[in-house]
């Protein structure tokens, strides 16, 4: 109960960053989902009569060097970025969960083998490892999602392992073991549900990281290939005419900034809420 005479802070003041992150994530996600309804132009349609038009009533965010509407391309590019983020994080989280649970519960041998594998993977800078793999594969959306997912599971595995090592010694796990529950039942019914909080935070932050990686790959020409719109390849096209058409780089850059900021704010706020050790 609150003390008499002491005003309780509003929900927004207490969790302002959480609400701001949720607002940014929700807005960008809805814009991407309803891109076909919100965009008035075909994002890949070339119009030679409207090349490099500045923002106007007809084209709210201007047009590019081929006369394509920038707003329509940003909306459809958001679908690509969010799709990559969710699928890549789903792959990495699934791998990290399984390996972390096995390492934390199945004994010293499994722990040593898996953790040494994690150490080996962490020896390579993630982005350069992704670059090296993508360079040998056909640059496609599917390959990007798979490669990002397969090279970013190490943090989740370490988080889940640490939580599993702690939880397996708790009283409720010992009670389940005494009651005759098998390892699979203990892991999936007792340990996994209690280890999901840090995984949720990691996954939220991971979406932002995956979007940045996809944008970087597309900017370098190794990601989504034109004419398919992506925020990264829109930045690459915009840099060629930066002096005369700055809107071609400004608006995709803002889209990346707001989306990544939203997921980072949401992830950090969830960490503060779900981790009791951070509460004062």
Domain with 119 in it: what CATH number? 1.10.3720.10
- Averaged over successive runs of 10 residues, the pLDDT of the chain (280 residues) comes to 47 73 95 92 92 93 94 95 94 96 91 94 85 81 91 94 91 88 88 90 94 92 88 93 93 96 93 65
Residue 41 lies in a domain: no
Task: Report yes or no on 168 lying in a domain.
Answer: yes
Residue range(s) defining the domain that contains residue 239 = 18-28+67-274
Q: What pLDDT, on the 0 to 100 scale, is given for residue 271? A: 86
149 closest CA partner among 82, 86, 219:
86
Domain-embedded: residue 257 = yes
Flag whether 54 is in a domain: no
Task: Let me know the angle formed at the C-alpha of 153 by 152 and 156, rounded to the nearest 5 degrees.
Answer: 125
* pLDDT score of 13: 55
User: pLDDT at position 14, please?
Assistant: 60
In a domain, 194, yes or no: yes
**Residue 107 counted as domain residue:** yes
Would you list the DSSP string of 5-25? T-PPPPHHHHTHHHHHHHHHH
| Structure tokens given for 125 | 């800078």
Q: What is the DSSP letter of 117?
A: H
134 in a domain, yes or no?
A: yes
In this structure, is residue 51 part of a structural domain?
no
Number of domain units in the chain:
1
């Amino acid at each position: 109960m609150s003390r008499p005479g002491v005003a309780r802070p509003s929900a927004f003041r207490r969790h302002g960053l959480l609400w701001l992150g949720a607002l940014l994530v929700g807005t960008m996600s809805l814009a991407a989902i309803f891109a076909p309804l919100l965009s008035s132009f075909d994002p890949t349609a070339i119009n030679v009569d409207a090349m490099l038009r500045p923002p106007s009533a007809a084209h709210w965010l201007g047009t590019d060097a081929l006369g394509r509407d920038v707003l329509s391309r940003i909306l459809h590019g958001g679908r690509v970025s969010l799709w990559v983020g969710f699928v890549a994080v789903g792959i990495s989280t699934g791998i990290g969960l399984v390996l972390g649970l096995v390492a934390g519960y199945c004994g010293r041998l499994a722990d040593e083998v898996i953790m040494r594998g994690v150490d080996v993977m962490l020896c390579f800078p993630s982005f350069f490892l992704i670059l090296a793999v993508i360079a040998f594969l056909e640059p496609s959306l599917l390959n990007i999602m798979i490669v990002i997912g397969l090279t970013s599971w190490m943090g989740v595995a370490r988080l889940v392992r640490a939580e599993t090592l702690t939880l397996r010694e708790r009283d409720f796990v010992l009670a389940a073991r005494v009651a005759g529950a098998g390892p699979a039942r203990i892991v999936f019914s007792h340990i996994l549900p209690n280890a999901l909080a840090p995984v949720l935070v990691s996954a939220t932050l991971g979406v932002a990281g995956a979007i940045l990686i996809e944008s970087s790959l597309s900017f370098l020409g190794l990601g989504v290939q034109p004419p398919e719109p992506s925020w990264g390849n829109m930045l690459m096209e915009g840099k060629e005419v930066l002096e005369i058409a700055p809107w071609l780089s400004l608006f995709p850059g803002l889209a990346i900034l707001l989306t990544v900021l939203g997921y980072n704010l949401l992830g950090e706020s969830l960490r503060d809420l779900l981790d009791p050790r951070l509460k004062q």
